[in-house]
């Protein structure tokens, strides 16, 4: 299973990067890195393109020994003792931040984790998901994104779209703002209720379906006219993105606690963001419409 997952994440990284390079004019910078404690990865990031302000597609394959505090804080492995601290983890993580404020940012992450021998009950699990973060709400885009993810879930007995959708809304929530980071998608962790191959088949389908869930939306919005007000609001929303990732995201916390590669961990942050003091939106505006959905998530599929 380790090798199956490694092969899959590298293949999907190539497929996604090839597709994005057909859309934008800037090439990815590629860094192949090693981790002193064990393993490494391949990071690909572009900045300042015509379509993407910043885009990153990273793969990591790491192993080593966890600190007990880090082991207790992570998802999965709930039946293991503090003696099972050896770990293996691999996954693909991507974040795309378009230039045009009418085109949404998107995030996806799919991963496999083992603790100890990877054989004991609770010693292995899959996790991941994908979510959409628009600055302006286009309901047809939200429905398309969620419907595509639901179709993937419906193909696999191990998946539960309503549960994963709610989990996503709850996870990507910014408590101090009382709003979601975006309009959600799916999120799951500690997935081990079936055998490894069944769980892997679902995760592989999710990862392979990323392009079909997002590129049609990007194509519709990347050339939409916009003004300075739209761009300002995009920068404010990206500030919210930063707040969530640095304060609440478990992946960021785990990477920092395990001496991960800092540039890869913080790849998800936008190239630019803005914090307006006491920023308020106009009543009955498009900006207020988005905020209402972020504070009151709805079903899209």
CATH number at residue 40: 3.40.1500.10
Beta bridge pairs of residue 270: none
Express each pLDDT in 87-140 by its tens digit.
899 999 999 999 999 999 999 999 999 987 777 777 899 999 999 999 999 999
pLDDT at 83 over 70: no
Query: Could you tell me what percent of the chain has a pLDDT over 90?
Result: 82
Q: pLDDT band at 37, cuts 50/70/90?
A: confident
CA distance 93 to 143: 23
**Can you give the pLDDT at residue 80?**
55
pLDDT mean over 205-228:
98
Q: pLDDT band at 8, cuts 50/70/90?
A: very high
CA distance 91 to 2: 10
How many structural domains are present in the chain? Answer: 1
Range of the domain at 279: 2-295
Q: Check if the beta carbon of residue 301 is closer than 8 Å to that of residue 150.
A: yes
pLDDT mean over 32-40:
92
Q: Provide the annotated active-site residues.
A: 107
Average pLDDT, the chain: 93
Q: pLDDT band at 163, cuts 50/70/90?
A: very high
* Cα 220 off chain centre by: 22
CA distance 155 to 157: 7
pLDDT at 5 over 60: yes
Within-domain flag for 47: yes
CA distance 237 to 177: 12
**Can you give the pLDDT at residue 117?**
75
Within-domain flag for 288: yes
Strands, sheet with 105-115, edge to edge from the N-terminal-most edge strand:
29-34, 39-47, 52-65, 86-98, 105-115, 124-133, 184-191
Within-domain flag for 152: yes
pLDDT mean over 56-63:
96
Alpha helices in 50-189 (DSSP H): 68-73, 139-154, 161-171
Query: Could you tell me what percent of the chain has a pLDDT over 70?
Result: 95
pTM for the predicted model, two decimal places = 0.94
Dig out the tokens for 83 from the structure.
Answer: 């003696």
Within-domain flag for 300: no
Which is higher by pLDDT, 18 or 255? 18
**Can you give the pLDDT at residue 72?**
64
pLDDT at 79 over 70: no
* 78 phi and psi angles, rounded to 5 deg: -70, -20
pLDDT mean over 220-241:
98
pLDDT mean over 257-280:
91
Rounded to the nearest 10°, the torsion over CA 107, 110, 113, 119 is 160
Within-domain flag for 301: no
Q: pLDDT band at 281, cuts 50/70/90?
A: very high
Range scoring the smallest mean pLDDT among 82-96, 223-237, 239-253: 82-96
Within-domain flag for 279: yes
Please, is 117 exposed, middle or buried when counting C-beta atoms within 10 Å of its C-beta (0-12, 13-18, 19+)?
A: exposed
Within-domain flag for 180: yes
**Can you give the pLDDT at residue 28?**
95
H/E run at residue 115: strand 105-115
């Amino acid at each position: 299973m380790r090798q199956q997952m490694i092969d899959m994440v590298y293949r999907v990284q190539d497929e996604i990067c090839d597709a994005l390079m057909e859309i934008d004019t800037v090439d990815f910078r590629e860094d192949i890195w090693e981790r002193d404690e064990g393993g490494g990865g391949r990071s690909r990031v572009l900045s300042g393109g015509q379509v993407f302000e910043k885009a990153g597609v990273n793969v990591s394959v790491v192993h080593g020994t966890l600190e007990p505090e880090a082991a207790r804080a992570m998802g999965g492995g709930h039946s293991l003792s503090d003696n099972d601290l050896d770990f293996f983890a691999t996954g693909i993580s991507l974040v795309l931040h378009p230039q045009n404020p009418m085109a949404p940012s998107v995030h996806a992450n799919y991963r496999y984790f083992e603790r100890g021998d990877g054989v004991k009950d609770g010693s292995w699990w899959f996790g991941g998901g994908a979510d959409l973060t628009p600055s302006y709400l286009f309901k047809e885009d939200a429905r398309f994104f969620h419907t595509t993810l639901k179709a993937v879930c419906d193909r696999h007995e191990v998946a539960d779209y309503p549960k994963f959708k709610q989990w996503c809304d709850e996870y990507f929530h910014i408590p101090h703002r009382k709003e979601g980071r975006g309009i959600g998608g799916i999120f799951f962790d500690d997935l081990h209720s079936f055998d490894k191959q069944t769980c892997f088949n679902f995760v592989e389908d999710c990862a392979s379906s990323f392009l079909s869930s997002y590129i049609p939306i990007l194509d519709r919005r990347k050339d939409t006219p916009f003004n300075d007000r739209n761009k300002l609001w995009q920068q404010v929303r990206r500030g919210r993105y930063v707040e969530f990732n640095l304060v609440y995201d478990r992946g960021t916390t785990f990477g920092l606690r395990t001496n991960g590669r800092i540039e890869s961990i913080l790849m998800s942050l936008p190239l630019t963001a803005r914090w307006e003091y006491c920023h308020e939106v106009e009543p009955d505006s498009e900006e207020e419409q988005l905020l209402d959905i972020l504070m009151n998530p709805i079903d899209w599929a």
